[in-house]
Amino acid sequence: MNQKNVSSTVIRRLPRYYRYLTSLKDLGISSISSKELAKRMNITASQVKQDFAAFGWHGLQGYGYDVSFLHTEIGRILGLDTVRNMIIIGAGSLGHALARHAEFEKKGFKIIGIFDTRSELVGQKVNDLEIMHFDNIEEFLAHNKVDIAALTVPASHAKGVVEYITKLGIKAIWNFVPMKLQTDEDVTIENIHLIDSLLVLGYKIKENANIKDD
């Protein structure tokens, strides 16, 4: 089947399903109803059914869904069986935090390089990686397969860095810079906008709004 037709809302729910299914599996639970899954996901049972039907999965009357099956399938769809090489551009506190995040490698995202332009940072170690000068990134990319570049540079540098690394062949950017990146159509971008999230939290507090979408 063609997963490209599955909506982004459903795709964004997959990591959460996966997390929950992992806990269920660890607890030795073998089946789960759409109703129970729905409760945990803060969506309706019929949304759960729809989400899974998009992949051709259907529950059994009186049994529900097979936990192990869903866990394996969703893991496969999310590419958890694949190792991806990631570099971090910007070795400030956020770059350090990403480099030290132990969970990434467990999920198959291996950090193989970290770059900065600040000479006082170059040569310092973060975990086992020595921070490299950004001037060396072309040579690095020539000798290493890099799937993802995490971008944690100041906003003022973002445009130049993105133009440069996409010319060097980077096709996927995990963007922490609070701005919309302009790239060619064939470059995939995933944004973490911390400020946006904080503003939504501020809104929820102010309105005492019951927004439960994650």
The residue (of 136 and 156) whose beta carbon lies closer to its own copies is 156
* Shortest distance (Å) from residue 15 CB to its own copies: 4
d(CA 82, CA 99): 19
- Contact between 154 and 130 under an 8 Å Cβ cutoff? The reply is no
Stretch that binds its own copies, among 11-19, 29-37, 60-68, 162-170 (CB under 8 A): 11-19
**Beta strand pairing status for 188-191 and 172-175?**
parallel
CA distances 191 to 50, 142, 151, 172, 179, Å, are 26, 26, 10, 11, 9
Binding mask 28-47 for its own copies (x = CB under 8 A): ------------x-------
d(CA 72, CA 67): 9
Stretch that binds its own copies, among 58-66, 117-125, 156-164, 172-180 (CB under 8 A): 172-180
Binding mask 55-74 for its own copies (x = CB under 8 A): --------------------
**Alpha helices (runs of H) in 33-192, residue ranges in sequence order:** 34-41, 45-53, 67-77, 93-99, 102-106, 137-143, 155-167
- Per CB under 8 A, 80 contacts its own copies: yes
- Per CB under 8 A, 101 contacts its own copies: yes
SS3 for 100? coil
The footprint of its own copies (CB under 8 A) covers: 3-4, 8-9, 11-12, 14-16, 18-20, 40, 77-80, 82, 84, 92-94, 96-101, 103-104, 107-109, 147-148, 171-172, 174, 178-180, 188, 190-214
